[in-house]
Amino acid sequence: MNEDSIRSLFRPWPWVLLIFLPLAACQMDEPAYTTRFMAFGTLIDLSIIGVDRTTAEQAASALEQDFAFMHQAWHAWDPGPLGRVNRLITHKEGFSVPPSVLPLIRLGKLYEEQSGGLFNPAIGRLIDLWGFHSDAPECRPPPPPEAIRALLKSAPGMSDLDLEGIMLRSRNPVVQLDFGAFGKGYGIDLAIAHLREMGIRNAIINAGGDLRAIGDRGGRPWRIAIRRPSGGVLAIVEVSGDESVFTSGDYERNFVYEGETYHHIIDPRTGYPAKGSRSVTVLHTDAATADAAATALFVAGPENWVHVARSMGIKYVLLMDNTGTMHMTPAMARRVKFMEQEPDIKLSEPL
Ligand code: AMP
Ligand code: MG
Q: What is the rounded CA–CA span in Å between residue 192 and residue 186?
A: 10
pTM to 2 decimals? 0.92
Q: Which ligand is nearest to the CA of 115?
A: 1
Residues with a CB atom less than 6 Å from ligand 1: 5, 119-121, 127, 132, 178, 180-181, 248, 252-253, 264-266, 268, 291, 294-295, 299
Summarised one tens digit per residue, pLDDT across range 47-57 is 999 999 999 99
Instruction: Output DSSP code: residue 312.
Output: H
Q: For residue 292, how far is its CA from the centre of ligand 2 (angstroms)?
A: 4
How far out from the chain centre does Cα 195 lie?
20
Q: Which ligand is nearest to the CA of 4?
A: 1
What is the atom index within ligand 1 of the atom nearest the CA of 267? 19
Q: Which ligand is nearest to the CA of 180?
A: 1
* Closest by CA position to 66, among listed 208, 242, 188: 188
pLDDT at residue 337, as a whole number: 96
Q: What is the rounded CA–CA span in Å between residue 130 and residue 151?
A: 12
Q: Which ligand is nearest to the CA of 5?
A: 1
Question: Nearest 5°: phi and psi at 268?
Answer: -65, -15
What is the atom index within ligand 1 of the atom nearest the CA of 292? 3
Half-sphere exposure for 225 (CA within 13 Å, toward CB):
21
Q: Give the helix/strand (H/E) hosting 147.
A: helix 145-154
Q: For residue 290, how far is its CA from the centre of ligand 2 (angstroms)?
A: 7
What is the atom index within ligand 1 of the atom nearest the CA of 132? 10
Q: For residue 181, how far is its CA from the centre of ligand 1 (angstroms)?
A: 4
For the chain (351 residues), the mean pLDDT of every run of 10, in chain order, is 43 41 43 85 89 95 94 82 94 94 98 98 96 80 97 98 96 96 95 97 94 94 95 95 97 92 97 98 98 98 98 98 97 95 93 95
pLDDT at residue 40, as a whole number: 67
pLDDT at residue 29, as a whole number: 54
* Closest by CA position to 289, among listed 107, 157, 74: 107
Q: For residue 301, how far is its CA from the centre of ligand 1 (angstroms)?
A: 14
Beta strands 326-328; 345-347: pairing state: parallel
Q: What is the rounded CA–CA span in Å between residue 38 and residue 223?
A: 23
pLDDT at residue 136, as a whole number: 74
pLDDT at residue 41, as a whole number: 64
Q: Which residues of 317-330 are buried (b: 16+ CB within 10 A; e: fewer)?
A: bbbbbeeeebbbbe
Residue 230, CA distances (Å) to 194, 227, 234, 274 in order: 36, 8, 9, 18
pLDDT at residue 32, as a whole number: 87
**Nearest-CA residue for atom 3 of ligand 1:** 181
> Which of 42, 126, 265, 279 should be mutated for ligand 1, with most atoms under 8 A from CB?
265
Q: For residue 178, how far is its CA from the centre of ligand 1 (angstroms)?
A: 8
**Nearest-CA residue for atom 8 of ligand 1:** 181
pLDDT at residue 92, as a whole number: 85
Summarised one tens digit per residue, pLDDT across range 198-217 is 999 999 999 989 999 999 99
Q: Give the helix/strand (H/E) hosting 326.
A: strand 326-328
What is the atom index within ligand 1 of the atom nearest the CA of 295? 4
Q: For residue 32, how far is its CA from the centre of ligand 2 (angstroms)?
A: 29
Q: For residue 130, how far is its CA from the centre of ligand 1 (angstroms)?
A: 12
